[in-house]
Chains A and B, each alone.
Chain A
């Protein structure tokens, strides 16, 4: 089955700086890669996703890049704000198969 590894497990940045979270996957058939944000006391919420036919996708201050050859994808958050503090999860799946999640990155944005 698929194996998704996520790094780092914790990340602390100053407000206004950029944050990058990286994930690798093992199954070259995986073709959908979502990122979830989980705020304290809440469930994960989809913030951005990318499919394997695209190399990069942006939505305001967040972007995701995908390198299919190396089997890794990354979440980029620019101009970080305190409200970006949360746990971020990456995931991978192939078509209608189940999602495989990374172990999460706790992002702390210091004001």
Chain B
């Protein structure tokens, strides 16, 4: 089993759909993150959770709604997205905030 697992790997959705991305880490880490990766741009930090409490929301539009039920699971709920939201969404975890990041393989999202 890989350290950080993301599902689904690919997702195509219309602008009126509601879908969710899931992340699970098997590393016993306490911090989890959502990043957005767009072509030729730096990774954009979206949300940070530490011991399942949100510690950072990087001015992310409300159409992205994170959920962290426990330290091992992280969700990103998506609704009424825009085509410009199409990107690779990466989940990461670290032992503590600011520690070495371990990334999942990402969920490739296409918004039509």
Contact = CB atoms under 8 A, between A and B. Distances in A.
Interface of A: 4, 9, 34, 36, 41-46, 49, 89, 93, 95-104
B4 A43 contact: yes
Nearest to B48: A98
Give chain B's interface secondary structure class: loop
A104 B4 contact: no
Interface residues of B, number: 21
Nearest to A4: B42
Contact of B100 (A42, A46, A95, A97): A46
19 contacts: A36-B103, A41-B105, A42-B106, A43-B92, A43-B103, A43-B106, A44-B90, A45-B103, A46-B102, A49-B100, A93-B98, A99-B43, A99-B45, A100-B42, A102-B42, A103-B40, A103-B41, A103-B42, A104-B40
